[in-house]
Amino acid sequence: MARKWRAGAAGLAVLGLTLTACGGAKVGDDSADSGGSSGKCGTFNLAVNPWVGYEADAAVVAYVAEHDLGCTVNKKDLKEEIAWQGFGTGEIDAVLENWGHDDLKKKYITDQKTAVEAGSTGNKGVIGWYVPPWLAKAHPDILDYKNLNKYADRFKTSESGGKGQLLDGDPSYVTNDAALVKNLKLNFKVVYAGSETALIQAYRKAEKNKEWVLGYFYEPQWFMSEVPLKKVALPPYKKGCDADAAKIACDYPVYDLDKIVSAKFAKSGSPAYDLVKKFHWTNDDQNTVAKYIAVEKMTPEAAAKKWVEANKDKVDAWTK
Amino acid sequence: MTVAIEKPDTAGPVEPEAPARKALKANRTTVVAGILVAWLVLFFVLRGRQTLTLATADLTDLHRWFNDVNDSVGANRNSNPLFLYFFNEIRLVIDNLVTFDQHLISQPPAGRPVPVIGWLGVVGIAGYVSWAVGNWRVALLAVAGFTFFGLQGLWQESMDTLALTVSAVFVALLFAIPLGIWAGLSDRFNRIVTPLLDFMQTMPTFVYLAPLTLVFLIGPASATIATVIYAAPPAIRITAHAIRSVPETTAEAAHSLGATRRQSLQKVLLPMSKRTVVMGVNQSIMAALAMVTIAALIDAPGLGKTVVQALQSLDVGTAFNAGLAIVVMAIVLDRVTTAASTREENARRSKNRFLKWRTPLLGAGAVVTAVLIYLSHTYVWAADFPGDGTVGSHIASAADSVTDWAQDNLSGLTNAIRDVITNVLLNPFQSLLTDSPWWLVGMVLVALAVVLGGWKAGITTAVCVGLLVGTGVWSDAMTTTASTLVATVLVMVLGIVFGVWMGRSMLVDRLVRPTLDAAQVMPPFVYLVPFLALFGATRFTAIVAAVVYAAPVAIKIIADGVRAVPETTVEAATSAGCSTRQIITKVQLPMARSALTLATNQGLIYVLSMVVVGGLVGAGALGYDVVAGFSQGELYGKGLAAGLAIVLLGVMFDRITQAAARRTGA
């Protein structure tokens, strides 16, 4: 009995589904709209390095390339080293926000000749030591490195072995901190948090609970709009003061963030290359888009759309 | 990051007489204590000498040589025939396989706005296949689980992950089953392949992720191969184990009946070990799912990407939602494969009266599934999952508020716990290991290995210590060892408490087990963000993360061990007037001794597999070296050396604990 009932039910279900289905729209009915824009651009392989500021750059460039130039954009989430590696193998066309990386430039631009520079993004990259805003307010003199030793005791943690703790983040970031601590004779120990996530969490908690944290951070960064960290002044940067890595005793230079493309892509005549080359905006622009993504939790596409629609003039300058 | 190492063989040498054995045991404890006291004394005398420390940015010649090899591979890749005709072909085949699977269920192929099979079809297939290979209960679970992905708003991401997992497991099994059979039949091959499998399972993935993209390019092929390297070993081990556990008499009977080698394999060995081989498939799937977030670092599509991206902006809720989808997928696939391995046996036993209707019902099911596939291929409502994933955003905001609450209310307590454990346990132990001369630590390790595990374990340990010094990261290796051992102690404390509780009560077991499963497959980074808020970027956070990952294994093993204690023994003890506490400490735990040592072994290996994750949250040492090597070209060689050091630590501890387990189990 039960079996007959089961078979009957199955049959009814199939019948029911088929009938209801007849009312639905068929796949491919609206394909006329979506299949039209292949243009002469073709595919554009864009590396997306893992920080939100970069994601903002990539979102906007990808949005413009897709909507104004009709490119098929493949965004690939990769760390810097692997993305650069992709220039040679043809898997990556462009890196949009490069922080110095003279080592990679030497390897891929000078030696292997698989990559070329494509100019500045207009963003200024600042690297340095930062403290949470409450601390800068309570002890304004902490913003000078000369006074750091006075407070070293307060920065002690379970990890810093009796000295003050200087918290460093993701290992892929450019850092001279260990040499700086030694050469400036600071009573601090560099502790490696190991990821940007860990670093941001440390600052967020420090600001909330009024804790003492000194760490490595950078701008432009979306987190600054949540907790505006204050930079500690180190001996000012002069050209050449960072020549010998072991003897560095000066601040980080201001990085002119630039774009790198594969040599092949530069010669391809693709409109996407022209877009990358002309792409230029300010730290505020990037922070706005990064904030849409990180704080307001918009998708990168939606964030890009919102910014592009509000900044038509800037975008037009890139595509002309 | 599941590490399945075979259960140590419990059938050891013949048991000595009871009093003699007791004397031997007491003797061994004194010797161990003696070694430790001698170490402490020498430590105070020789402190800070010959510690082989190496600063974070410093390299040794070995590290530079690794860098050069890596660079020359990159420079010659386009002209080398090995690449042109070998690696490139492999890449093409695997790329095509994955892309085919993706077009089927997750990504729209050319000329179609949606994949070939829509959600309704996939849910239908999942239900039908689960029912056909398992039973109707797991079929319901599969249907519910797959529908849940859609409700979470993660349909496409889940299908990408599924496509990649299925492709990787398929490729892994293609190699693993024949190799496993070979290792099961040939002792010599087994001896050669075992260290290789250890290597594949303990070498941190981060180390070979960058070279893989150099050889197989950025794309599905590299992600699949990374997953295969990790997912194949358990299947090989378990297949070999299955072939070996076929009773010798059965194999001999087949032989004496005149069966050829081939016949006895096909007709006797394989059918008899089928059930265990399916468990190998199960382990392979679980290992593949553990790689989802790591593969996302080289652009593997799917849920891993969602997790990684959400964490860039510390969006715990979104990361948790995606992590939950991975957990659900793991639980569905686990239960289905487990049901598949026991189905025939159960069916035979139950004498189900529907049995003779099975074939026609299967046929009817196939027809229904085909109709569902057709519908999902043709109609938009059955192709795109309806709704906008509101369930997912509810889950995300619930997870967010739980984390916020915990961060606001618990951080005083958690900081206290952290400071006590760090200052009382971790710091002294770490300075003992890192500040002693390297040869002293080496000698202590070898001596302990000899006393606990015997001469053979001692020799292995000596070799490992020598190679560790050779890697140039000795000091970092000792820092990591300190954290690892502290984490293992905590794992065992949790393992005994929960294991005994679960072993004694089936109800508790049933309630706790799903949580344990979830803790094992939830990508660590999802819970690491709240942990970072609770404990800061410290070694202790890394220890907690390792404990969360490793404790479930230890708990499960101990629970099974306690349950295996004969009921009559426990009853006898009860009637003799023992209290519950006495029964646990005098009867159940001593009798589950071999389970305890196995749990220690597995706990330790699982903790070691979290070293790299620890490096991302403040553990420093080897984990940080590996991560740094992955992110900076100049540090590549050092990262590789640190990876090798982790493998060496794993092999060393594994051999010592296994040898010790054989002794206590005897």
- How distant is the alpha carbon of residue A242 from its chain centre? 25
Are the Cβ atoms of A27 and B380 closer than 8 angstroms? yes
Q: State whether residue B54 sits within 8 Å of chain A by CB.
A: no
What pLDDT does residue B506 have? 85
What would the DSSP string read from start to end of B180-193?
Answer: HHHHHH-HHHHHHH
Beta-carbon neighbour count of residue B479 at 10 Å? 24
Task: Please tell me the distance from the alpha carbon of residue B126 to that of residue B141, in angstroms, as a whole number.
Answer: 10
What pLDDT does residue B15 have? 43
Q: How far does the CA of residue A83 sit from the closest CA of chain B (Å)?
A: 9
Are the Cβ atoms of B75 and A112 closer than 8 angstroms? yes
- What kind and span of H or E run contains B428? helix B427-435
Q: DSSP character for B356? A: G
Q: How far does the CA of residue A18 sit from the closest CA of chain B (Å)?
A: 8
Are the Cβ atoms of A88 and B78 closer than 8 angstroms? yes
Identity of the amino acid at A23: G
Q: DSSP character for A167? A: E
Residue of B nearest to A222 (CA): B313
Q: How far does the CA of residue A235 sit from the closest CA of chain B (Å)?
A: 23
Contacts of B318 in chain A (CB under 8 A): 297
- What kind and span of H or E run contains B582? helix B580-582
- Residue found under tokens 């191969």: B225
- How distant is the alpha carbon of residue B597 from its chain centre? 18
Contacts of B78 in chain A (CB under 8 A): 88
What pLDDT does residue A29 have? 61
pTM (two decimals)? 0.83
Task: Please tell me the distance from the alpha carbon of residue B232 to that of residue B174, in angstroms, as a whole number.
Answer: 9
Task: Please tell me the distance from the alpha carbon of residue A177 to that of residue A189, in angstroms, as a whole number.
Answer: 9
Mean per-residue pLDDT pooled into runs of 10, chain A (320 residues): 53 54 61 46 87 91 90 87 85 89 86 88 90 93 90 88 87 80 90 86 89 91 88 89 82 90 88 90 90 87 92 87
Give the β-pairing of A255-262 and A115-131. Answer: antiparallel
Longest dimension (CA), chain A: 91
What pLDDT does residue B139 have? 92
- Domains of chain B plus CATH, in order, are 78-388 (1.10.3720.10), 396-665 (1.10.3720.10)
Residues of chain B with pLDDT under 50: 1-17
Asked if A273 contacts A119 with a C-beta cutoff of 8 angstroms, the reply is no
Task: Give domain limits for chain A.
Answer: 39-122+256-319, 125-247
Find all residues with CB under 8 Å of B351, minimum gap 6, and list them: none
Q: State whether residue B616 sits within 8 Å of chain A by CB.
A: yes
Find all residues with CB under 8 Å of B524, minimum gap 6, and list them: B545, B548, B549, B610, B613
Q: State whether residue B418 sits within 8 Å of chain A by CB.
A: yes
Encoded tokens for A55: 């994601």
Beta-carbon neighbour count of residue B305 at 10 Å? 21
ipTM of the complex: 0.79
The shortest CB-CB distance from A25 to any of B368, B379, B427 is to B379
Are the Cβ atoms of A79 and B628 closer than 8 angstroms? no
Find all residues with CB under 8 Å of B631, minimum gap 6, and list them: A79, A80, A81, A170, A171, A172
The shortest CB-CB distance from A85 to any of B74, B377, B407 is to B74
Q: How far does the CA of residue B557 sit from the closest CA of chain A (Å)?
A: 33
What pLDDT does residue B325 have? 92
- How distant is the alpha carbon of residue B84 from its chain centre? 34
Are the Cβ atoms of A76 and B418 closer than 8 angstroms? no
Q: Which of residues 93-132 of B touch A (CB under 8 A)?
A: 111-114, 118
The shortest CB-CB distance from B314 to any of A10, A29, A200 is to A200
The strand pairing partners of A107, in sequence order, are: none
Contacts of A58 in chain B (CB under 8 A): none
- How distant is the alpha carbon of residue B343 from its chain centre? 26
The shortest CB-CB distance from B354 to any of A3, A26, A28 is to A3
Burial classification of residue B30, based on how many CB atoms lie within 10 Å of its CB (0-12 exposed, 13-18 middle, 19 or more buried): exposed
Asked if B119 contacts B385 with a C-beta cutoff of 8 angstroms, the reply is yes
Contacts of A192 in chain B (CB under 8 A): 56, 618, 620, 624
The CATH code belonging to domain A125-247 is 3.40.190.100
Q: State whether residue B364 sits within 8 Å of chain A by CB.
A: yes
Phi (first) and psi of residue A238, to 5 degrees = -125, 150
The shortest CB-CB distance from A26 to any of B380, B525, B540 is to B380
What pLDDT does residue A6 have? 57
Are the Cβ atoms of A222 and B627 closer than 8 angstroms? no
Q: How far does the CA of residue B620 sit from the closest CA of chain A (Å)?
A: 6
CATH of A39-122+256-319, one of 3.40.50.1000, 3.40.190.10, 1.10.1040.10, 1.10.287.610: 3.40.190.10
Phi (first) and psi of residue B14, to 5 degrees = -65, 140
What pLDDT does residue B352 have? 59
